[in-house]
Amino acid sequence: MIDTTGLGPGFARLDIDANGKFTVDGGPGCSFTDSATPRRQGKVYNVSITLGGPPCRNPNTVMSGVAYYDPTTTHSLPTPGQLYLFAMRADREVGFLFTGKH
């Protein structure tokens, strides 16, 4: 679980289960779920995201991208580790960027 709730506008909570399914709570009434599948090497994942319906900005938008987990990042102490996730809609007009620690 990565939790940045309570830190101000634009922050979200992201939960990932052991099967790569994740849920993002993006604030009042906006949440979405989808999946991450590991690539062949390293801690890199292909991600698929479908935004929730209204009141989410760009409701029901489908995006794909990549996530990387760096377990050695120390700027997130006391618990090391950082997740970087980026996904875009196919036309590249809408994107989603998430960084967070667990």
Q: In terms of pLDDT, which residue wins out, 75 or 70?
A: 70
Grade residue 8 by pLDDT with cuts at 50, 70 and 90: very low
Q: Is 91 exposed, middle or buried (0-12, 13-18, 19+ CB in 10 A)?
A: exposed
| Other Cβ atoms closer than 10 A to 70 | 15
Q: Which two tokens stand for residue 51?
A: 């935004």
Q: Is 37 exposed, middle or buried (0-12, 13-18, 19+ CB in 10 A)?
A: exposed
Instruction: Determine the average pLDDT of the residues in 20-35.
Output: 79
C-alpha dihedral, 28 to 29 to 34 to 36, nearest 10°: 0
Instruction: Determine the average pLDDT of the residues in 6-17.
Output: 64
pLDDT attached to residue 89:
92
Q: In terms of pLDDT, which residue wins out, 10 or 28?
A: 28
Grade residue 65 by pLDDT with cuts at 50, 70 and 90: very high
ω into 78 cis (within 30 of 0): yes
pTM for the full predicted model: 0.73
